[in-house]
Amino acid sequence: MRHVFITGSTTGLGLAAARALIDDGHAVVLHARSRERAAAIGELAVRAAGVVIGDLASAAETDAVAAQVNRIGRMDAVIHNAGYYAARSREPAATTYATTLAVNIFAPYRLTALIERPRRLVYLSSDMHFSGRGPLRATDGGGQHWGRDSVYSDSKLYVTALAFAVARRWPEVFSNAVDPGWVPTRMGGPGAPDDLEQGPATQVWLAVSDEADARVSGRYWYHRQQQEAAPQARDPRFQDELLVALARITGIALL
């Protein structure tokens, strides 16, 4: 039995991964953005090893999530599943920019730095990371120039590079990035063409499997097949520059 924490595990791929792991006998700590969200998964919450609450768009609440996880105990694996992709015309561009970066890269970074170091880390990426650009900008003064697709692509480039940077920095930890495909979740939409059953399979496998193929680090995966990530994500200089920028913006250094 492995202890696994999954962010964003009340809906979509996070919920599917949590259910699969719990059904296989693992101890899963769930994460909900609010108590209302947690109440919606009452049946699964009863079977979980715990439920932590916090909005990952908030730095303070993200730090509180890390503290809650640490009080439960050391995890064997953390799946950074939570993601944000703004609905069209839902909010001003600057707000979209700030929220997307907060949830998709600042929160995984903060949680990586603050949660007691697990043996395995899995970060959800996307094939949209190939369209991402660098370097990371702060959340103020740039949002009006960025559309929702471009900032989402950037955030996925950054989180992929983060996975690889952690693999270099912490050689004792298996740290990988996963493209789950474009699946018909609430974020992906009903017309998404990929297989929803395959969507959580790779991250679940990387989190708990003892197979040799799963005990690797610094890789980019799609449906349990290694793929070549974007050149920037694989560039150690870009990774190091990203860590410096994240430390400056968040005020937290990854030791």
Catalytic residue among 152, 158, 220, 222: 152
Is 152 one of the catalytic residues? yes
DSSP 3-state of 31: strand
C-alpha dist (Å) from residue 128 to 56, 73, 136, 157: 21, 34, 16, 8
Query: In this structure, are residues 97 and 146 in contact, taking their beta carbons and an 8 Å threshold?
Result: yes
What does the buried/exposed string (b/e) look like for 44-79 if buried means 16 or more CB atoms within 10 Å of the residue's CB? bbeebbbbbbbbbbebeebbbbbebbeeeeebbbbb
Cβ neighbours around 205 below 10 Å, total? 17
Residue 109 is among the residues annotated as catalytic for this protein = no
SS3 state at 233: helix
Q: With contact defined as beta carbons under 8 Å apart, do 61 and 112 qualify?
A: no
182: number of Cβ within 10 Å: 17
CA distance 59 to 61: 6
The residue annotated as part of the active site, out of 85, 97, 109, 156, is: 156
Residues identified as active-site: 152, 156
